[in-house]
Amino acid sequence: MSQRLTLTAESQVEIRPLIESAIQSELRMLELGLQRTRQRLQAFEQRFDMSSAEFEQRINAGELEETLDFVEWLGEIKTQELLDANLQALRGVQIN
Give tens-digit pLDDT for 78-89: 999 999 999 999
Please tell me the pTM assigned to this model.
0.87
Bigger pLDDT: 8 vs 67: 67
Q: Each residue of 9-54: pLDDT tens digit?
A: 888 889 899 999 999 999 999 999 999 999 999 999 999 999 999 9
Domain residue ranges of the chain, discontinuous segments joined by +: 42-96
Query: Does pLDDT of 7 surpass 90?
Result: no
Is the pLDDT at 62 greater than 90? The verdict is yes
- SS3 for 36-59 is HHHHHHHHHHHHHCCCHHHHHHHH
Instruction: Check whether 1 has a pLDDT greater than 90.
Output: no
**Distance between CA atoms of 82 and 87, rounded to whole angstroms?**
8
